[in-house]
C-alpha cells in the first residue's frame, strides 16, 4: 500500500487531500502534471514550499484514487487520463 505521509487529509475533506502545511491540493498538482505536461521537478519549483516528493505523492495518490479525482477534477480530460492510468496499474486476470 502506498505511503502518503506528505498529504494532509485533515485540512479538507478526504476526497481532496492537501500537501501538508499548505493549501495546495493533490488534484491541483496532478492536473499541472497531466494537463500541462509539467515534470514533477518543475511543479515543485513553482511552489517554494514544495519538494519533488510532495508532488510525487500527490500524483501517486490521484492515480490510486480515481474516484476522488473524478469528483474534484476541473477538466474531463483529467478524469479520462486518471482512469486510464489507474486501469493500467490494475493486475490483469489470467
- Give the dihedral sign, CA 22/19/11/65: positive
Q: What is the pLDDT along the chain (94 residues), one digit of tens a residue?
A: 678 999 998 755 556 799 999 989 999 999 999 999 999 999 999 998 999 999 999 999 999 999 888 888 888 998 899 999 888 875 433 3
Question: Within a domain: residue 2?
Answer: no
At residue 59, the pLDDT reads 94
Compute the distance between CA of residue 37 and CA of residue 77 in angstroms, rounded to an integer.
13
Strand positions, DSSP E, 1-94:
7-8, 18-19
Question: Within a domain: residue 27?
Answer: yes
Structural domain of residue 31, as residue ranges? Answer: 7-89
Question: Within a domain: residue 53?
Answer: yes
Domain containing residue 74: CATH number? 1.10.10
If one counts the domains in the chain, the total is 1
Question: Within a domain: residue 59?
Answer: yes
Amino acid at each position: 500500500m502506498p505511503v502518503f505521509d506528505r498529504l494532509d487529509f485533515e485540512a479538507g475533506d478526504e476526497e481532496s487531500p492537501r500537501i501538508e502545511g499548505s493549501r495546495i491540493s493533490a488534484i491541483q498538482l496532478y492536473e499541472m502534471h497531466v494537463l500541462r505536461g509539467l515534470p514533477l521537478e518543475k511543479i515543485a519549483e513553482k511552489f517554494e514550499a514544495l519538494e519533488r516528493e510532495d508532488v510525487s505523492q500527490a500524483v501517486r495518490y490521484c492515480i490510486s484514487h480515481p474516484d476522488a479525482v473524478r469528483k474534484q477534477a476541473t477538466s474531463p480530460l483529467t478524469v479520462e487520463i486518471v482512469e486510464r492510468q489507474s486501469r493500467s496499474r490494475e493486475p490483469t486476470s489470467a
